[in-house]
């Protein structure tokens, strides 16, 4: 049962949404529970995502992509999250962070090489976080050193989404710790580079099929051609890319909330107590109404931020608002869904238990809710 609005979409966008939704229901839904329990994707999921075309939505056709809009990426993440947030975040990171950054900041040869790979079968990962640099994302310990014309990277990265599946990594390291953010540089690193390895995989509460790993950099040699943007411009690459990525996380949260709402609508129309479906009791109807209203409000915040981005307008405040609000909504709606399911909602037998676990990450990654609130406050105070 779907309640997602279509009136705000153009015809092409509506067709795209329907295509992704049908794929998610037919190809992903049957293996969601299995992937969650195993803590990894089924082996045929990632190739199917490439075949569908959602791994290179914004990438221009000359490099094998669809040449679509940022908004289409947001729609894809929402629809995939409605079925499985783990699959959705793989697509989200691929499009809104990695491919987006390479397209915007990469030299022509870099774009041709890596965007082509990422359109045809290579997964990307974005490696900024470290043990001592969470919300203070630029207190980096990972070091880059000149080695002739090339660079050597040393250190560790933590909590890297897509770490187990990726073949291409955007790695941020500092050449000069004393220069602060001006010493940070972004490097495009291939999984096969000597000295690079994937370390521990985290055992997580939610989005369990999505890999979250450590990266070990043991003197990884990176050719100078693989600097993304200019040396010392990594801060700008990171912050501007993350502003866009936060809209993607917002759409993930909207999809989770939408899925939980639909689960609750279905269950309350079938579950009977006192001789009638529980959905006919006013108290339950009010909860469903609140869930639907908040989900729709979150969706419109996300869509507005995405539209602003596509229009080339400032969207920093709107992206932060979309992420912080949709994260709150996803957590609240999934929690209410569990309550409406009653005892069974607290067990692995119900779909809403997983959605509740998946929703929690929204307040944490790609900028915590507190950091988003700080961004919003600064933006509105500036006028």
Q: Which residues are catalytic?
A: 366
Which residue shows structure tokens 């051609």? 225
Cα distance between the two ends of the chain: 42
Phi, psi of 8 (to 5 degrees): -90, 0
- Judge contact between 115 and 99, C-beta under 8 A: yes
> Residue 3 and residue 44: Cα distance in Å, rounded?
30
**Which is it for strands 184-190 and 166-174: parallel, antiparallel or unpaired?**
antiparallel
For 127, the 3-state DSSP assignment is strand
For 272, the 3-state DSSP assignment is strand
> Residue 215 and residue 155: Cα distance in Å, rounded?
8
CA nearest neighbour of 318 among 307, 329, 328, 333: 307
For 200, the 3-state DSSP assignment is strand
């Amino acid at each position: 049962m779907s309640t997602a609005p279509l009136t705000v979409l153009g015809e092409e966008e509506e067709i795209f949404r329907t295509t992704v939704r049908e794929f998610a229901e037919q190809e992903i839904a049957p293996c969601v529970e299995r992937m969650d329990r195993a803590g990894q994707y089924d082996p045929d999921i990632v190739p199917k995502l490439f075949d569908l075309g959602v791994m290179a939505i914004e990438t221009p056709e000359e490099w094998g992509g669809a040449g679509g809009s940022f908004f289409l990426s947001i729609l894809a993440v929402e629809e995939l999250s409605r079925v499985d947030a783990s699959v959705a975040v793989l697509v989200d990171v691929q499009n809104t962070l990695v491919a987006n950054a390479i397209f915007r900041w990469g030299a022509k040869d870099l774009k041709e090489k890596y965007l082509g790979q990422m359109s045809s079968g290579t997964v990307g990962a974005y490696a900024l976080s470290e043990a001592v640099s969470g919300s203070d994302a630029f207190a980096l310990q990972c070091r880059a050193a000149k080695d002739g014309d090339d660079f050597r990277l040393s250190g560790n990265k933590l909590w890297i989404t897509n770490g187990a599946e990726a073949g291409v990594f955007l790695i941020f390291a500092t050449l000069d710790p004393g220069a602060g953010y001006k010493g940070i540089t972004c490097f495009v690193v291939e999984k096969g580079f000597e000295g690079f390895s994937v370390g521990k995989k985290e055992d997580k509460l939610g989005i369990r099929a999505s890999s979250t790993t450590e990266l070990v950099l043991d003197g990884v040699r990176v050719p100078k051609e693989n600097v993304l943007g200019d040396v010392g411009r990594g801060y700008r690459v990171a912050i501007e890319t993350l502003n866009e990525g936060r809209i993607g996380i917002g759409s993930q949260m909207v999809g989770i909330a939408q899925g939980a709402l639909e689960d609750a609508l279905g269950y309350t129309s079938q579950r009977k107590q006192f001789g009638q479906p529980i959905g006919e009791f006013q108290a339950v109807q009010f909860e469903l109404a609140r869930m639907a209203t908040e989900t729709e409000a979150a969706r419109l915040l996300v869509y507005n931020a995405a539209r602003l981005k596509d229009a080339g307008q400032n969207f920093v405040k709107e992206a932060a608002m979309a992420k912080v609000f949709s994260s709150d909504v996803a957590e609240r709606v999934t929690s209410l869904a569990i309550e409406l399911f009653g005892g069974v909602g607290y067990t692995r037998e119900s779909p809403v238990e997983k959605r509740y676990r998946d929703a929690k990450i929204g307040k944490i990654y790609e900028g915590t809710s507190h950091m988003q609130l700080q961004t919003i406050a600064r933006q509105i105070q500036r006028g």
